[in-house]
A and B are shown apart, each in its own frame.
Chain A
Amino acid sequence: ETGVTQSPTHLIKTRGQQVTLRCSSQSGHNTVSWYQQALGQGPQFIFQYYREEENGRGNFPPRFSGLQFPNYSSELNVNALELDDSALYLCASSREAGGLGEQYFGPGTRLTVT
């Protein structure tokens, strides 16, 4: 079975711009979660999608939004980029309902906002 993939690998954007990050879940997984990891910190939960519906959200503003598609792939959209949005963005997929089973992470997308 294929693992979790993310695209692009690296991205440089200017403050105020919008960005879309993509994630393909591991085969057979119906839940995807997105995390933001600032340098030297642990990942912070952004939100989770289960069967195309948002299933929980962390302390992130509404300019962070997401989608999950019928094939369980997912997008993270960030509007009005700020310098503090520079981070490694990780997605994780899970087979268990609600995402409570083992989480499998992708390699991440490194976003730099200048």
Chain B
Amino acid sequence: KQEVTQIPAALSVPEGENLVLNCSFTDSAIYNLQWFRQDPGKGLTSLLLIQSSQREQTSGRLNASLDKSSGRSTLYIAASQPGDSATYLCAVASRGFGNEKLTFGTGTRLTIIP
């Protein structure tokens, strides 16, 4: 059974700082890993998708890395802004005949202090 853990559960940093969010998973037999952003009471917005054969993906100020062998991914946010405040979720798409699904972590609640 795949389990996904995100540390820390909450993080507050001053505006302008660079920061790293962590995600770990127990079963390395994955198809891909996806990072999402969720604003309070809202749906999920996809940020980055990393296929199992890739090591990292970049989009603007965001960079996500994947180390499948160690079961870890990081989301790096450069030059943080107050608009980055949200909950960040990582999700892993696992192999499993007839049961393909995303397994989510519980998220990191990020607050950027102006």
Question: Which of B11-19, B37-45, B58-66, B73-81 is the contact stretch?
Answer: B37-45
B34 touching A99, Cβ below 8 Å: no
What number of residue pairs across chains A and B have CB atoms under 8 A from each other?
A: 68
B43 CB contact (under 8 Å) in A42, A44, A108: A108
Q: Is chain B's binding surface mostly helix, strand, loop or mixed?
A: strand
Interface residues of B in 24-51 (CB under 8 A from A): 31-32, 34, 36, 41-46, 49
Q: How far is the CA of A42 from the CA of B45 in the complex (A)?
A: 14
Q: List chain B positions with a Cβ less than 8 A from chain A.
A: 4, 31-32, 34, 36, 41-46, 49, 89, 91, 93, 96, 98-107
Q: List chain A positions with a Cβ less than 8 A from chain B.
A: 6, 33, 35, 40-45, 48, 55-58, 88, 90, 92, 98-108, 110
7 A-B pairs within 8 Å (CB atoms) are namely A43-B44, A44-B104, A55-B98, A99-B101, A105-B43, A108-B42, A110-B41
